[in-house]
Amino acid sequence: MTVRGVRGAITCSEDRPEAILQATQELLLAIQAANPGMHPDDFASIFFTATPDLRSIHPAKAARQLGWNRVPLLCAQEIDVPDSLPRCIRVLLHWNSSLPQSQIHHVYLGEASVLRPDIEEISLSSLRPDL
């Protein structure tokens, strides 16, 4: 089995704990839905970053609220590049998977889709109609 990196990003409407947690959960669920067979027990670790304008709560708490309690999580501040996308949460999941890299789906939602225009935007409702 190989460790695969799975990337994603989403923007947050404002620097409030509820908004950060909601956006982060939306992103994590979309990544999970876009990668069939992905289960938290298969994560080696997850690394979150947030732009300097998001500091009211750690995005990793959203994973804990989803029940991902055994996954090692780490948060850091994204470097403050001038004119970069504001209020952005990024994630890198290290996933133990037998899938080839070509079958890994990275997810960039909403305004964060400008970070990777080569990746088709995925909506959570199209992946999980129950949400």
Q: How far apart are CA 36 and CA 105, in angstroms?
A: 10
Residues of the chain below pLDDT 50: 123-125, 128-131
Task: List domains and CATH numbers for the chain.
Answer: 2-121 (3.30.1330.40)
Strand partners, 107: 8
Q: pLDDT digits over 71-99, tens only?
A: 999 999 999 999 999 999 999 999 999 99
| Three-class SS of 86-121 | CCEEEEEEEEEECCCHHHCCCEECHHHHHHCCCCCC
- Of 38, 37, 24, the closest CA to residue 94 belongs to 38
Q: Decide if 46 contacts 59 (C-beta within 8 A).
A: no
Question: Would you state the pLDDT for residue 1?
Answer: 77
For residue 117, which amino acid is it? P
Residue 54 burial (10 A CB sphere; 0-12, 13-18, 19+): buried
Q: How far apart are CA 129 and CA 69, in angstroms?
A: 25
Query: Where in the sequence numbering do the catalytic residues fall?
Result: 7, 64, 75, 78, 90, 108, 116
